[in-house]
Amino acid sequence: MKKIVILGAGRSSSSLIKYLLEEGKHSNWLITLADFDKAQAESKIIGYQNAVAVAFDIFNETQREALIREADLVISMLPAAFHIHVAKTCLDAYVHLFTASYVSTAIRELDEEAKRKELLFLNECGLDPGLDHMSAMQLIEQIRGKGGELRAFCSYTGGLVAPESDDNPWNYKFSWNPRNVVLAGQGVAKYLSEGYLKFIPYHKLFSRSQSVFVEGLGDFDAYPNRDSLAYREIYGLEKISTLLRGTLRRAGFCAAWDVFVQLGMTDDSFQMKKLAGLTWRQFTDSFLPKESGMSLEEKLANYLNIPLKGEIMSKLTWLGIFEDKALGVKEASPAQVLLKLLEEKWKLKADDKDMIVMQHQLDYELEGKIKRLTSSLVVKGEDPVQTAMAKTVGLPLGIAVKMFLQEKIKARGVQIPINKDFYDPILSELKDLGIAFNEKEEELKNQ
Amino acid sequence: MKKIVILGAGRSSSSLIKYLLEEGKHSNWLITLADFDKAQAESKIIGYQNAVAVAFDIFNETQREALIREADLVISMLPAAFHIHVAKTCLDAYVHLFTASYVSTAIRELDEEAKRKELLFLNECGLDPGLDHMSAMQLIEQIRGKGGELRAFCSYTGGLVAPESDDNPWNYKFSWNPRNVVLAGQGVAKYLSEGYLKFIPYHKLFSRSQSVFVEGLGDFDAYPNRDSLAYREIYGLEKISTLLRGTLRRAGFCAAWDVFVQLGMTDDSFQMKKLAGLTWRQFTDSFLPKESGMSLEEKLANYLNIPLKGEIMSKLTWLGIFEDKALGVKEASPAQVLLKLLEEKWKLKADDKDMIVMQHQLDYELEGKIKRLTSSLVVKGEDPVQTAMAKTVGLPLGIAVKMFLQEKIKARGVQIPINKDFYDPILSELKDLGIAFNEKEEELKNQ
């Protein structure tokens, strides 16, 4: 019997849990689901004999050690900052570890010891990071295999709302950590364009979004992620001239979001005091210059040079930033005030479905011709529990765990799934589960 | 005999040193001038019998203690971060302390002990902070004295180049820490406008500069300082509706500087690598989107919506950011690259004179009328040593030291010069030394 411990039974763990419970029925697995909220863990194993739910506090070291020592394999779905505590206990207890999070420096440093102890610490095996790596590497290898030379690699991912549940002018609802959405892009974005490094400061990021078309869904905006270059060496793309990774939003989102960036409403660096009693109208006005004889709406449109009667102003008006309604907070950063409003307006309702969209664009040269391979993925949520986000984060991890327990994975140490041994079987099973990319190839005019 | 120790013999100490050496001739003072570079200290006391120069390292605790224990009074002209070390030694040794820097939290916490030991720790007694406080408080008290009620207080200061030495299109040269000039304004500026708090993010700061007119000199741009509200309580302006403190540049400077802000060239948050071999033209291009068929100049003008043949482009061209010249650095933040260029282009030459400009605008109501009192100060440097900056930073401090040694100051503990006992005599002597404000009053239309 194999003992699997899953740490964290939150929203994004649902599909992982269900997959392992189902697979565990005919394999000889005992699954322990551990969460700070025991009732939440219990609710996710109802009807399964091969699982137990336990209360778990990451800061209780004794409990953490006892739980991990019992296991053959631990899956950490906790916030990324906690993984290192789990990883160290796993090392001490000779237990394998799986996560869907980026490899931190601290985790990377455990590589040697993990290898020595013949343990696999697999990370970045969710959606983004995870599915993005695997699908990209498969395409890159496919092109290399036929002798093609890669010129450009652009890759975009977005967690969005499905068209059938899309009923607001922003065409957006939260399917992921709302705070991260509000703070997204702060810093400087770096990417490579035709051989040259490009830098975009935060205040230009959303006005410099690019258009991305996805068959069957239409147009999206894409803004570059903070560091598109991090995977240049890992993907083996040292010689590529264009390399960009970005985030997808529905067309028109970025121009409207840019208003908040320009105003300073996404700033999280200071606390505004004495907000009690202030209305949204007054709050919005505090980011605008004094101009006499203009309404707040005219002043904003004039300040940011946007049409008074246009899409952007409609989106802003719909959110309520021009309303005489109380903010309802006493002290908060501008970003926290905005977050509170958005959490209410962009909430996924009980019967709403979310959607994941991913697209890779690879330009390569083969036999004197330049070709573009476009590979797109669209995944929709089934219900509020089996969301597209939960499926795309959890299923790659679940499949990796199954393969490992079936002894099909030989790699040890700190790993990410960029080798064939990982991505071929994982992508193949995902396809069977309905998570399949749609490929298209066209010839580009020689440049 | 009174023993005065001056720590730091750098550029901004020159006028202070000269003032104290001259005053010390007929008072019975022994001045010890301590600097890391002993030769620099020696060069500043040539011809004076009442002074000695010593080598001094702030990190040598034994030496610091020995030096301070000998003194009756210490003046620290070291970088502000070092004051706390000096202050603690002063407390232990029962020695008074004078600085031209902002009171840090650490220094403020020494207030009680300093009072108990009957020591004066006078801070913020230079130009800005210093002369700004003193002149503002004198005006505020003058208005209150005649029964006026303050409505608005705006105060601007700039360290600039004198018109006779002004020979570049930016009308600016460095007379102060160049790095601070390049990074100026980063964060969020807060001020009060007609009863409402206003917030300006960094990327809007320079495009929202205001125009300030100074008699005899013409138009200036003023951009708000980071926190205009810090002195609301200290100045006793709790009921005021408009409160703004800002920095002065020559008209047209801010619009051109805003180009660097918009591009992201003032960013100091990350290091750009492999810069060796890169030209200024390539560096500038790395902050611009790819656009085919346009020159770099056209692309920049188009991106930022500025005229291709205008003042802003002339200023940028003069600096050399479109040149095929090597950057000459290997690894640096964008701000560091820009700083290197500006240090060369905006250098005060040996025979150049600098200039300090300060203006306070106070609106007040008296007998049903709204009046505006405008008080302006213009100070020009005498030569590269007795600069306007050195004079306005050093003379207020020197006068305060003299008054203290003449036992005309009774205050003890951590102080700033916002009481009459400080500012009346200091401003009066400054006037005799040619540092005088020019006042003008006009009646405003009732609003």
Q: Looking at this predicted complex, what is its ipTM?
A: 0.89
Q: Are A404 and A75 in contact (CB under 8 A)?
A: no
Q: Are A334 and A268 in contact (CB under 8 A)?
A: yes
Per CB-CB distance under 8 Å, the chain A contacts of B286 are: 196-199
Per CB-CB distance under 8 Å, the chain A contacts of B272 are: 197, 199
Contact at CB, B188 and A282, closer than 8 angstroms = no
Mutate which: A208, A271, A286, A306, vs B, most B CBs within 10 A: A286
pLDDT at site B231: 86
pLDDT at site A446: 61
User: For all residues of chain B together, what is the average pLDDT?
Assistant: 96
pLDDT at site A447: 53
Contact at CB, A201 and B197, closer than 8 angstroms = no
Mean pLDDT of A370-383: 96
Coil, helix or strand at residue A357: strand
Q: What span, in angstroms and rounded, lies between the C-alpha atoms of B53 and B67?
A: 12
Q: What span, in angstroms and rounded, lies between the C-alpha atoms of B188 and B117?
A: 40
Q: Are A303 and A259 in contact (CB under 8 A)?
A: no
Mutate which: B186, B194, B203, vs A, most A CBs within 10 A: B203
Mean pLDDT of B423-437: 97
Q: Are B346 and B166 in contact (CB under 8 A)?
A: no
State the pTM of this model: 0.92
Per CB-CB distance under 8 Å, the chain A contacts of B188 are: 264, 267, 269-270
Measure Cα distances from B145 to A434, B150, B412 in Å.
81, 12, 26
Q: Which residues of A36-168 form beta strands (DSSP E)?
A: 51-55, 73-76, 96-99, 120-122, 149-161
Coil, helix or strand at residue B199: strand
Measure Cα distances from B283 to A197, A236, B393 in Å.
9, 26, 37
Per CB-CB distance under 8 Å, the chain A contacts of B287 are: 198-201
pLDDT at site A176: 84
Cβ–Cβ contact A276 with B under 8 A = no
Residue A426 phi/psi, 5° resolution?
A: -65, -50
Measure Cα distances from A306 to A53, A168, A208, A256, A281 in Å.
54, 20, 16, 10, 18
The CATH homologous superfamily for domain B2-123 is NAD(P)-binding Rossmann-like Domain (3.40.50.720)
- Angle among Cα A205, A208, A210 to the nearest 5 degrees reads 120
Q: Is the dihedral of CA B236, B241, B246, B248 positive or negative?
A: negative
Q: What span, in angstroms and rounded, lies between the C-alpha atoms of A435 and A377?
A: 7
Q: What span, in angstroms and rounded, lies between the C-alpha atoms of A426 and A436?
A: 11
**pLDDT over 90 (residue B446):** no
Q: Are B333 and B150 in contact (CB under 8 A)?
A: no
Per CB-CB distance under 8 Å, the chain A contacts of B208 are: 289
Measure Cα distances from B447 to A417, B102, B152, B366 in Å.
69, 36, 13, 14
Map out the domains of chain B as residue ranges.
2-123, 131-251+350-388+436-444, 257-345
Q: What span, in angstroms and rounded, lies between the C-alpha atoms of B186 and A30?
A: 55
Which residue from B196, B203, B285 is facing A196, i.e. has the nearest CB?
A: B285
Residues 377-416 of A with CB under 8 A from B: none
Who contacts B235 (Cβ-Cβ below 8 Å, separation ≥6)? B133, B136, B137, B140, B153, B418
User: For all residues of chain A together, what is the average pLDDT?
Assistant: 96
Cβ–Cβ contact A285 with B under 8 A = yes
Task: Report the candidate in B217, B222, B210 with the shortest Cα–Cα distance to residue B184.
Answer: B222
Q: Which CATH architecture has domain A131-251+350-388+436-444?
A: 2-Layer Sandwich (3.30)
Task: Report the candidate in B270, B286, B284, B275 with the shortest Cα–Cα distance to residue B327.
Answer: B275
Q: Are B281 and B296 in contact (CB under 8 A)?
A: yes
Mutate which: A204, A287, A304, vs B, most B CBs within 10 A: A204
pLDDT at site A292: 80
Contact at CB, A201 and B282, closer than 8 angstroms = no
Q: Are B312 and B319 in contact (CB under 8 A)?
A: no
Domain A131-251+350-388+436-444 and domain A257-345 have a common topology: no
Cβ–Cβ contact A203 with B under 8 A = yes
Q: Which residue has the tokens 């590269």?
A: B384
DSSP bridge partners of A96: A73
What's the gap in Å between the CA of B301 and the closest CA on chain A?
15
Contact at CB, B199 and A264, closer than 8 angstroms = yes
Q: Which DSSP category does A81 fall into?
A: G
Residue A122 phi/psi, 5° resolution?
A: -95, 125
Judge if the upstream peptide bond of residue B334 is cis by omega within 30 degrees of 0.
Answer: no
What's the gap in Å between the CA of A2 and the closest CA on chain B?
46
Alpha helices by DSSP H, listed for B305-376, are 311-319, 334-345
Q: Are B384 and B404 in contact (CB under 8 A)?
A: no
- How far from the centroid of its chain's Cα atoms is residue A90's Cα? 26
Mean pLDDT of A137-163: 97
DSSP bridge partners of B246: B156, B224
pLDDT at site B447: 53
Q: What span, in angstroms and rounded, lies between the C-alpha atoms of A435 and A427?
A: 8
Q: Which CATH class is domain B257-345?
A: mainly alpha
Q: What span, in angstroms and rounded, lies between the C-alpha atoms of B32 and B27?
A: 15
Task: Report the candidate in A193, A309, A189, A327 with the shortest Cα–Cα distance to residue A261.
Answer: A189
Percent of chain B surpassing pLDDT 70:
100
- How far from the centroid of its chain's Cα atoms is residue B285's Cα? 33
Per CB-CB distance under 8 Å, the chain B contacts of A289 are: 198, 208
Contact at CB, A290 and B199, closer than 8 angstroms = no
Task: Report the candidate in B358, B325, B380, B336 with the shortest Cα–Cα distance to residue B131.
Answer: B358
Q: Are A127 and A396 in contact (CB under 8 A)?
A: yes
Task: Report the candidate in A52, A57, A62, A63 with the shortest Cα–Cα distance to residue A21.
Answer: A52
Q: Which DSSP category does B178 fall into?
A: H
- Angle among Cα B115, B118, B119 to the nearest 5 degrees reads 85
Which residue from A197, A270, A289 is facing B188, i.e. has the nearest CB?
A: A270
Predicted confidence (pLDDT) per residue in B167-223, tens digit: 999 999 999 889 999 999 999 999 999 999 999 999 999 999 999 999 999 999 999
Q: What span, in angstroms and rounded, lies between the C-alpha atoms of A394 and B357?
A: 63
Alpha helices by DSSP H, listed for A97-192, are 105-108, 111-116, 131-145, 178-183
